[in-house]
Amino acid sequence: MNELSSYVCAFRGARDSYQVPLALAEGGMLDQFITDFYCAPLARIGAAALPGRWREKLLAREEKGIPTDRVRRLLGLFLRENLRHLLGFSRALTIGRLDAEFSLAAASRVRRSRADLFLYSPYAWEAFTARYAHEPRKVLFQFHPHPACERRILLADRKNYPFAARAPCDENGNPWLEPVDRRLSECWRYADAILCASSFTRRSLVEAGAPAERCRVVPYGVASATDNGSCPKTFEALFVGNGTQRKGLHHLLLAWRKANLPSSSRLTLVCRQIDPGILDLARQRADIRLVRGAASADLVSLYKASSVLLLPSLVEGFGLVYLEALAQGCPVLGTANTGLPDLGESGGAVKEIEPGNVDELVSQLECLARELPGNEAMRERARALARAWSWPRFRQGIRKALFSSAGEGSSPSLPFACGAKGSVAQGEGR
């Protein structure tokens, strides 16, 4: 790779606040960014007339540092996805089929522009396995652990807590589908370089057979907080995420029930969805409050008003909510199966426990309930740690990894990757 190398990047939504295509644009390496809905200038003008939450969602679908002439919008896919959701089609199959179309669009662009590929794992298969007149460099961004690792961990936990999951499922709570599993688990074989959001994710790929020297870790970042907020005087715990098995919410609820906590303690769960068995646990306690999703501003207020963010995930590609909480001065508790070990020394603002260890979680809850209320020094350590992990640092890390990995490794030919496993039909679900 040289300074003139350029990449096609493709994904749906505002994934990672558009930081990857922005990193490429800042380095003069963005050929085209392919997405679904992206805010146009006229849409910004009309946004003022929308209700607050819709206005927030609309304006979040843009990054001013990405040149608009480098953005391609696949609005038809956006409409198809939402229509299928409204009609009750399987979300897993819908998203998987559309993921494939983003990948095919990236391949088509690369054929015309003779650029290279920088793709997130759900969007890589079709583009990485396509044939080209030139030899594009293929960079994979792996933001979730390898499916084999995730499945092994969740199935083991399910034996101990069968109520916590109705069936083996992916990171979004969708049932695992074998063709989807292959589509996600084999794309690394074609990558010349693999960037991972955490060391845990990197280990999961190496365990699956990926060459260690081809995998680099670039931890996520976070935007700086605008103000410090106040320090809670009582123990106010917070959970943010889907109420599914992989987030370890069942472990948290069991530990909360067993822990000897002050009577004023409260646990707030912010979940867009929550599985029935886990919901039953949450409803057994009067000191547990369930919030069905929150706008960004409301979530910031919750971080500022909480003593600690509790997210004892079994499997997490990184866990952006950890950094979001830290940025607002809220200490965090998580596990080693996340991006927390990559953040370094925290001065006590980050606590790690063994994944699935309810007794250890009980002990930590009792300690945190004593240590955190009124502890402004700990909140400042949390903010200081978040300041060290900014989005500009992440973007610089992406560019550095691209340059340092140039010329290392090579992707195998098409017959190598498909010969043993068999090809995956285009458009099969995730």
User: Which residue matches tokens 């809220």?
Assistant: 330
382 and 400 together in one domain = no
Number of Cβ within 10 Å of residue 407's Cβ equals 10
Confidence bin at 422 (pLDDT 50/70/90): very low
- From the list 133, 156, 9, the residue with the least C-alpha distance to 71 is 9
Task: Summarize pLDDT for 256-271 with one digit per residue, the tens.
Answer: 999 999 999 999 999 9
246 and 344 together in one domain = yes
pLDDT of residue 383: 95
Average pLDDT over residues 150-169: 84
Q: Does residue 231 belong to any structural domain of this protein? A: no
Task: Summarize pLDDT for 281-301 with one digit per residue, the tens.
Answer: 999 999 999 999 888 889 999
Q: Is 221 helix (H, G, I), strand (E, B) or coil?
A: coil
On the question of pLDDT at 277 being above 70, the answer is yes
116 and 208 together in one domain = yes
309's enclosing H/E stretch is strand 308-310
Residue 13's region, left for phi above 0, alpha for psi from -120 to 50, else beta, is left
199 and 321 together in one domain = no
55 and 168 together in one domain = yes
pTM for this prediction: 0.88
Q: Does residue 22 belong to any structural domain of this protein? A: yes
Sequence-separated (6 or more) residues with CB below 8 Å from residue 128 = 103, 117, 119, 138, 140, 187, 190, 191, 411
Query: Read out DSSP for 219-258?
Result: ---BPPPS------SS-EEEEES-BSGGGTHHHHHHHHHH
245 and 367 together in one domain = yes
Domain that holds residue 94: 7-221+391-419
Average pLDDT over residues 68-80: 93
Task: Summarize pLDDT for 308-317 with one digit per residue, the tens.
Answer: 999 999 999 9
Residue 18's region, left for phi above 0, alpha for psi from -120 to 50, else beta, is left
Residue 415 is which amino acid? P
Confidence bin at 2 (pLDDT 50/70/90): very low
User: Which residue matches tokens 């960037």?
Assistant: 195
CA distances from 213 to 7, 124, 205, 282, 400 (A): 22, 20, 11, 44, 15
78 and 181 together in one domain = yes
Higher pLDDT, 361 or 414: 361
59 and 135 together in one domain = yes
Task: Summarize pLDDT for 112-155 with one digit per residue, the tens.
Answer: 999 999 999 999 999 999 999 999 999 999 999 999 999 999 99
pLDDT of residue 404: 84
pLDDT of residue 210: 97
Cα gap 194→336, rounded to integer Å: 21
CATH number of 201's domain: 3.40.50
Higher pLDDT, 257 or 57: 257
CATH number of 342's domain: 3.40.50.2000
252 and 272 together in one domain = yes
45 and 126 together in one domain = yes
Residue 40 is which amino acid? A
Contact between 385 and 330 under an 8 Å Cβ cutoff? The reply is no
- From the list 64, 69, 22, the residue with the least C-alpha distance to 398 is 22
Contact between 332 and 318 under an 8 Å Cβ cutoff? The reply is no
- From the list 24, 17, 317, the residue with the least C-alpha distance to 144 is 317
Task: Summarize pLDDT for 169-199 with one digit per residue, the tens.
Answer: 555 555 555 555 678 899 999 999 999 999 9
Cα gap 196→139, rounded to integer Å: 11
51 and 198 together in one domain = yes
